Amino acid sequence: MAIDFPNSPSTGALHTVNGKQWQWDSEKWIAYGVSLAPDVLKVDSGNNRVGINQTSPAYSLDVTGTARITGDLTVQGTTTTIESAAVNTSLIFEGATADSYETTLTLVDPTADRTITLPNNTGTVALTTDNVASATLAATATALATGRTINGVSFDGTANITVVDSTMLPLAGGTLSGTVDAADQIVQRPVMKDYAETKVAMAAHAVDLSLGNVQTYTLSGNQTLTFTNPPATGSAGSFTLIVTNGASATLTWPGSVDWAGGTAPTLTASGIDILTFTTIDGGTIWYGFLAGADMK
């Protein structure tokens, strides 16, 4: 089919015939808006789009399949979007040297929008190992308050960041701010200074050593005492009992008490007596002593 081209066209002029475009290069007409095998290459001159393996290109260059660029790739614009339907997708960076060592950035499907800003405030992010939890960060922590601990990481106001192990005790110094429960474990070679013992008022006529090792009791009517929760056999345990009005009524001691001299002491009817008790066999035998009688 003959094509009727216009006379005296200007350079760059376009001429359309049956949906095909031709362009004048100042010497000849060149096919410009051709559609060559549109399932492989589609030139959409009307929208200034080219499709590769794409019959309806939606972008200036719309590629379906694998693309390879052997030269430099420059991306200009305000937004670069990388989409993936896979949960775990990796970006591999070769680096300046083409060798067998690469840096892999793994993308994990997030549960919410996430933002990662690089670089940090020093201009670099330096990781000395491939495990972030054990890596030494080159960033300075001077902007953080000295002594602060966030999620198990303490900042000392310098470039040092120390991971706090909650299972370890400090080697030196420090002040406790709460109860320390040793759970019947051995505390070896302590040096005690300015210590105190817990004093409790005995309840329900039972000396419960789990409540305290100094207990007070005011006799009111005939009563029978019991001793509970002694240390296990193999450990020694003792307590002090301060009794008021001990002889004002009948006070019956546990049968496990072995009194000095084989006889229970006579207590004061209207006064205070101090007694001590010790066991080394889990309370099978309590050695009892009158430490002070008729205290005022």
Q: Indicate left, alpha or beta for 147 from its phi (over 0: left) and psi (-120 to 50: alpha).
A: left
How many residues belong to the chain? 296
The pLDDT tens digits of the residues spanning 36-76 come to: 565 777 778 778 888 888 888 898 888 888 888 888 888 78
Q: In this predicted model, which residue has the larger pLDDT, 170 or 277?
A: 277
What per-residue confidence (pLDDT) applies to 265? Answer: 94
Q: In this predicted model, which residue has the larger pLDDT, 234 or 19?
A: 234
What per-residue confidence (pLDDT) applies to 100? Answer: 86
Instruction: DSSP for 238-251, please give it.
Output: EEEEEEESTTSS-E
Dihedral, CA of residue 92, residue 95, residue 97 and residue 103, to nearest 10: -50
Pairing of β 41-44 and β 49-52: antiparallel
Portion of the chain with pLDDT greater than 70, in percent: 76
What per-residue confidence (pLDDT) applies to 76? Answer: 80
Q: Are the C-beta atoms of 129 and 112 separated by less than 8 Å?
A: no
The pLDDT tens digits of the residues spanning 181-211 come to: 888 888 889 898 998 999 999 877 899 999 9
Residues 6+ apart with CB under 8 A from 25: 11, 12
What per-residue confidence (pLDDT) applies to 137? Answer: 43
Sketch the domain layout of the chain as residue ranges: 15-63, 121-165, 199-295
Q: DSSP letter at 203?
A: B
Point out which residues pair with 16 in neighbouring strands. 21
Instruction: Return the residue matching tokens 């002593």.
Output: 289
Task: Inform me whether the pLDDT recorded for 15 exceeds 80.
Answer: yes
pTM of the shown model: 0.47
Cis peptide before 119 (omega within 30 of 0): yes
What per-residue confidence (pLDDT) applies to 36? Answer: 56
d(CA 272, CA 293): 7
The pLDDT tens digits of the residues spanning 215-263 come to: 999 998 899 999 999 999 989 999 999 999 999 999 999 999 999 999 9
Confidence class for position 121, pLDDT limits 50, 70, 90: low
DSSP H/E element including 224: strand 223-224
∠ Cα 278 283 289 (to 5°)? 30
What per-residue confidence (pLDDT) applies to 250? Answer: 92
Half-sphere exposure of 9 (CA within 13 A, CB side): 17
Phi, psi angle pair for 277, to nearest 5°: -135, 140
Dihedral, CA of residue 161, residue 167, residue 168 and residue 174, to nearest 10: 80
Instruction: Return the residue matching tokens 């690469």.
Output: 102
